[in-house]
A = this chain, B = another copy of it.
Amino acid sequence: MTSSVSVDEHAARIGRMLAPLLMARASEVVPLTDALGRTTADDVRSAVDLPLFRNSQMDGYAVRASDIETVPIALEVSGDVPAGHTVPVVLTPGTAIRIMTGAPVPAGADAIVPVEDAELVLGRDDDLAGSIVEVRRSRRAGEYVRERGSDLHRGDVIVPLGTRLAPRHLAALAAAGVGEVRVLAPLRVGIITTGSELVRGDRPAQFGQVFDANGIALAALSEDAGAVVGYRGTSDDDPASFEGVLADAIAASDLILTSGGISKGAFEVVREVLEPRGAEVCTVAMQPGGPQATAIVDGVPIICFPGNPVSTQVSFTVFLRGILRRAAALPDIPVRQVPLADALTSVAGKRQFLRGRQLPDGRVEQASGPSSHLVAGMARSDVLIDLPADAEQVAAGADVTVWTL
């Protein structure tokens, strides 16, 4: 006898079952070049000040502000500091030193005169010996000088724990000389599709056989949600076959997903094997996706979805996508309220997840029939229209809840 539960009750059960998995996470150290999209497992602190040294914000001339209080004024150009100049330079008071953006400000200088406010009146750009520069605008002490540590101090957190690393984070880490970073290991999802009707390997389908759509769907959905596929296999409807595949999946996965084999038929292999091991098999009051189950075998949580390809994909989206995305620090994909283009009828007593399509005007329309075998219809849709269990008629123009696929 299976219990009948609501979508919310089943979602809560799965949430409770997976909570320990999300709390104790393995981590690994990766080079920065492999870290895009990974999630930091620690606060990453800087070993240096940023900027590393006091440097110029402009191409121009380093001076003492007190020497250019009256302008215009002609100053001897006593030196040159191109970017990348690694020898500290000292400014002779009453002179100017040509400087490039990012180059170290000479000791004794406290302001930069941008090149736009200065003109070489004697000498040449490519030979500064004996040059004279005329400064045409005064600058206060500190102007166009970037102080050491003005962006970040040594010991400061560059990127906090739990950050999904975007390009701007990698740039800041690289700027601080960080070459590698400790990130969360992604959750390893094991995927088992079941059914003696599934074509095995790269063969044509015989009469009565179908190609497996659920294996690649669950793998792609898991990867899209930030997990990695630790194992992927297929079992026929023989319990010994499923037992073998399950053992391999358990060895390679933090979490296992199965499709098929849990309804009321005569050859329900997932149910046959897992129910004696304590699986909770239930009927969720939803369409598609009624038969569902959960189990924990050898400490590994197993989420069992029904086998119709639309049911499998809808079940993943409703019950697992949010949890996996949170585990990977991916942003939630919130449900939205959107007006319905055309009236819909629904089946009372079961929450409906109809395949829908967003129209350019922002409304949503049904994109495919409700039957759970319409896998091509699912491909033509881009949202699920979520109708409550008590809905029977929904009028055109009424707001409905949609899940973005």
Contact = CB atoms under 8 A, between A and B. Distances in A.
Interface of A: 32-33, 36, 46, 48, 50-53, 55, 57, 59, 82-88, 98, 100-104, 115-116, 125-126, 146, 150-152, 156, 158-159, 166-177, 179, 195-199, 202, 204-217, 219-221, 223-224, 236-237, 263-267, 307-309, 313, 371, 373-379, 381, 405
A176 B52 contact: no
29 contacts: A36-B220, A50-B376, A52-B205, A59-B263, A59-B266, A82-B237, A83-B195, A84-B195, A84-B208, A87-B207, A88-B208, A101-B307, A103-B197, A103-B208, A146-B373, A152-B376, A167-B217, A167-B221, A169-B379, A170-B217, A171-B220, A171-B378, A171-B379, A172-B376, A174-B213, A174-B216, A175-B210, A176-B376, A177-B211
A57 B174 contact: no
A224 B38 CA distance: 12
B378 A100 contact: no
Given A84-B209, A171-B220, 7 more contacts: A57-B373, A100-B266, A101-B307, A104-B208, A170-B217, A174-B212, A177-B204
Contacts of A52: 205, 209-210
A390 to B, nearest CB: 22
Quickly give the copy total for this chain.
2
Contacts of A375: 50, 151, 171-172, 175
A177 B405 CA distance: 23
Q: Which 9 A-B pairs have the closest CB atoms?
A: A84-B196, A59-B265, A167-B220, A172-B379, A84-B197, A171-B217, A175-B213, A152-B376, A83-B197
Contacts of A195: 83-84, 102
Contacts of A309: 171, 175
Contacts of A173: 379
Given A152-B376, A307-B101, A371 B166 contact: no
Mostly, the A contact residues are loop
A326 B74 CA distance: 54
A264 B59 contact: yes
Contacts of A125: 266
A151 B57 CA distance: 64
A83 B197 CA distance: 5
B166 A220 contact: yes
A207 B151 contact: no
A313 B146 contact: no
Contact of A379 (B55, B101, B158): B158
Contacts of A102: 195, 197, 210, 307-308, 373
B167 A82 contact: no
Contacts of A196: 82-84
A59 B268 CA distance: 11
Contacts of A116: 264
Contacts of A158: 376, 379
B216 A100 contact: no
A207 B100 contact: no
Contact of A151 (B103, B176, B179, B373): B373
B237 A84 contact: yes
A186 to B, nearest CB: 15
A245 B196 CA distance: 57
A207 B176 CA distance: 14
A199 B313 CA distance: 49
A55 to B, nearest CB: 8
Residue picked from A214, A216, A405, most chain B C-beta under 10 Å:
A216
